[in-house]
Structure 1
Amino acid sequence: MAYRIGIDARMYSARFTGIGRYNYELIHHLAAIDAENTYVIFLNEPEFSEFEIFAPNIEKVLVNAKHYSLQEQTVFLQKLLAAKLDLMHFTHFNSPLLFPGKQVVTIHDLTLSYYPGKKMTAAHYRAAYNLSIWSVTKKAAAVIAISENTKNDVISLLHVPAEKIRVVYEGAAETFTDDKRPEPIARVRSTYNLPRPFLLYAGVWRSHKNVAGLISAFALMVKEYGYEGDLVITGRPDPLYTEVPETIAQHGLEQRVHCVGLVPEEDLGVLFNAAELYVFPSFYEGFGLPALEAFAAGVPLAASNTSCLPEICGEGNALFFDPHNPKNMAEVMMRGVQDQELRTQLIERGKKRLLDFSWRKMAEETLGVYLDILRAGHAPSKNSSWRAQSGFTYLRRHGPPLSPRQQKSISLGCFPRTHRRRKNSI
């Protein structure tokens, strides 16, 4: 029996990091392994116009509904109902709260629960986040977690039964390969003015990424251990996270730390190959794709000993440090650049570890989740009183404790004032 399966791909572009890549790889590999079922891809602009139908069982639908918007709860809901789906896969926890169909959700991490960051900190946004993630995990027939660490977080924070959660690992992009040819490396060094050896960090600047901590550890490498190389930080500069440029200036490292911005993917792969060491300093991650990308590029990896990173990296395949201790970080990173025998061992072991992960395997296991649900006829419980309750009542009864300010915000509709009708409007 053929099914119609929807995929929320409103994040689908090289501009996005983890979830955008996840959606891209999932859709392309599903089409490669499954010609029987139809996949309906829900997109925003400009991704909708850029998305080319590459298989006969792929359809695309324009949504144009941002996360946490009124359109997400209305327009997206209408599009989902009109598509007549047998199953919907929300690849991010934001979904129309009143969608009644069979659904599965992927939870990549619970970063916003642990590290809210500096964006969308208003009470109504926090309440909307809590309502969204609680409701979708409650209604979903299955929850896909991208690591055991994320699964454990979902169980402990959201109280989702363990038997409802399937761990499905991600993979590394094929653009990341071990390619040490001098020509592309020389080109990238020239483009970004990198004449010296360097450590590499690729990612956003948010609090849980610990970029300022990395810079402080690098300062110790330079000043106490005599490291003669540089530090390269990719990713779009974020004006909300002023601690990154401030920490660079505090240590007088303006000539040694290179913030090169968001680089093209082909350049990013070459930067990995050119780096002496890839450093992954995060306090928290849901999976940690850059670890696999470092393995694929044949570059030694030094990573935090927290959250999912020991799980994904595996024992003996990377160097680990305490991300809360800059001195320990500096010591471990120095080992990673000085000990040649250790470097060779890490590169070899990293490549072996990489064989445990692939995007095709991810798609196969995800398809297995779909078919298990569809063939079992699984649907949200008929006894659920979800649709009879307001979002506030549901969250009050089943969700985490709310502050009085959050209760007031969610009772007003959970969304910013610009999305609510004014009293005098027609």
Structure 2
Amino acid sequence: MQSLRIGFDARYASDHFPGIGRYITSLLPELSRLTGQHRLFVFTNIGQTLPTLTDAHVEIVSVRSSPFALTQQLELPFLAGRLHLDLLHSPYLVKPYLLPCPSVVTIYDLLPLRYPQTLSPNGRRFYRLALRLAARSARQLITISSVSRDDLAFHLRIPRERIAVTPLAAAPAFAPQPPDVITDMRRRYGVPRHYVLFVGSNKPHKNIDRLLRAWQRVLPELPPSLSDTTLVVAGKFDPRYPLPTVMAAGYGLQERVKVLSHVSDDDLPALYSGALLFVFPSSYEGFGLPPLEAMACGVPVVCAYAGSLPEVVGEAALTVDPHSMHEIADGILRVLRSPALYQFLRQRGQQRATLFSWRATAQATLAVYERVAATV
């Protein structure tokens, strides 16, 4: 394979794009280790924080335009031409659309089409336009699950062959944590000894309301040794939607639900590791990283049989109907009442998590680059 000059637009690694930022900061170090025979140009805005990339074949390129600025439609094509790029990878659908080289774009899911109420009318119009422009201007699309690939192929009416699947992975930090680390985390966040954990946002598809109603049914049925168990709801919450604290109070659960709105990424492995069980009743996911992170930490998982989640967890989790609070409650109780099922899911989950790695994601991504370059 000839040496390629690859551009990677890392400007989306910011607090505004937490999920995309994790994708970029996890993928880039592995990608830089694999592209030794190529040149990798990483586009960043001034003041951005990225993992240190010290490889000699990697060059950081400063870009004045922000990801949503109209000026990027001129600045990035200019930079791509000046650097003689063979291709540019945009990890978000808002991208430069007229480039002097082929482009690759990552589109994670079609949540705004599945749940249009998450955007304003103007936001929906902008999303649909940006989605069409991204699909038309890119030589190849990348997505993160087979379910998302099928969604993209159907809604954009493009061949599935134009869409590559590169699954995500839990970061290496997600592993069972020592007891003293878990104890320290519990002390700092006020987390009780026995808890069932949910990690995610409060957007409607995450199903927190139905989870809380299921938790009402669980509480009187808990095994005696776990009668003090609390539900911990952790994540970054959007004020446009009902907050978990308000929902819990509405059901009279404020004493049995602990809400954590700002958990440091560094503390997440300990938060997972200390949980009795991880529950994730989301009704739609492009991939579903939290269940995989929980499994990597050795925690049994109960999650929805919806979206890409069955593809991620395989037979290593107990799956339930996300639209049934009865099934969600029953799934939680089945695991907490059965030590045998608990151990089975714990072991199978850790085994399942090892099948996903950012090295494999980077290898699949590099293969996309090389295929695109070979068709020029």
Same fold (TM over 0.5): yes
Is the Cα contact below 8 Å between 2:80 and 2:100 reproduced in 1?
no
Q: Which residue of 2 aligns with 1:408?
A: none
Note the 1:292-311 alignment, pairs <5 A.
Answer: 292-311=292-311
Aligned length: 372
Q: SS of 2:116's equivalent? A: coil
Residue 64 of structure 1, CA deviation:
5.1
Cα 1:101–1:338 shift into 2, 3 Å: same
Residue 375 of structure 1, CA deviation:
2.0
Gaps of 5+ in 1: 378-426
Residue 221 of structure 1, CA deviation:
1.2
Larger radius of gyration: 1
Residue 63 of structure 1, CA deviation:
3.0
Q: Work out the CA distance in 2 between the residues paired with 1:307 and 1:253.
A: 29
Residue 191 of structure 1, CA deviation:
1.0
User: In the alignment, does 2:214 pair up with 1:217?
Assistant: yes
Q: Which residue of 2 aligns with 1:31?
A: 32
Q: Output the amino acid matched with 1:195.
A: P
Cα 1:74–1:126 shift into 2, 3 Å: farther
Note the 1:246-395 alignment, pairs <5 A.
Answer: 246-315=246-315, 317-377=316-376
Per-residue deviation, residues 341-378 of structure 1 (Å, max 9, x unmatched): 0011111111221232111011011111111111222x
User: In the alignment, does 2:41 pair up with 1:43?
Assistant: no
Is the Cα contact below 8 Å between 1:117 and 1:206 reproduced in 2?
no
Cα 1:44–1:140 shift into 2, 3 Å: same
User: In the alignment, does 2:196 pair up with 1:195?
Assistant: no
* TM score, norm. by length of structure 2: 0.92
Is the Cα contact below 8 Å between 2:202 and 2:242 reproduced in 1?
no
Q: Which residue of 1 aligns with 2:95?
A: 95
Q: Work out the CA distance in 2 between the residues paired with 1:213 and 1:82.
A: 53
Residue 138 of structure 1, CA deviation:
2.1
Q: Work out the CA distance in 1 between the residues paired with 2:222 and 2:291.
A: 25
* TM score, norm. by length of structure 1: 0.82
Per-residue deviation, residues 95-138 of structure 1 (Å, max 9, x unmatched): 123335201111211111111344x4132x22221111112112
Q: Which runs of 4+ in 1 moved over 6 A?
A: none
Cα 1:66–1:213 shift into 2, 3 Å: farther
Q: Work out the CA distance in 1 between the residues paired with 2:319 and 2:261.
A: 26
Q: Work out the CA distance in 2 between the residues paired with 1:242 and 1:199.
A: 21
Q: Work out the CA distance in 1 between the residues paired with 2:128 and 2:115.
A: 14
Per-residue deviation, residues 152-199 of structure 1 (Å, max 9, x unmatched): 1011111121121211112110000122x2211111111111223111
Gaps of 5+ in 2: none
Q: Output the amino acid matched with 2:358.
A: W
**Percent identity over paired residues:** 34
Q: Output the amino acid matched with 1:218.
A: W
Q: Output the amino acid matched with 1:182.
A: P
Q: Work out the CA distance in 1 between the residues paired with 2:24 and 2:43.
A: 11
Residue 5 of structure 1, CA deviation:
0.8
Is the Cα contact below 8 Å between 2:192 and 2:230 reproduced in 1?
no
Q: Work out the CA distance in 2 between the residues paired with 1:252 and 1:72.
A: 50
Which moved further from structure 2: 71-80 or 285-294? 71-80
Is the Cα contact below 8 Å between 2:235 and 2:261 reproduced in 1?
yes
2:174 equivalent among 158, 168, 176:
176
Q: Which residue of 1 aligns with 2:19?
A: 18
Q: Which residue of 2 aligns with 1:402?
A: none
Is the Cα contact below 8 Å between 1:97 and 1:132 reproduced in 2?
no
Q: Work out the CA distance in 2 between the residues paired with 1:338 and 1:81.
A: 62
Residue 92 of structure 1, CA deviation:
1.3
Is the Cα contact below 8 Å between 2:5 and 2:40 reproduced in 1?
yes
Q: Work out the CA distance in 2 between the residues paired with 1:176 and 1:217.
A: 28
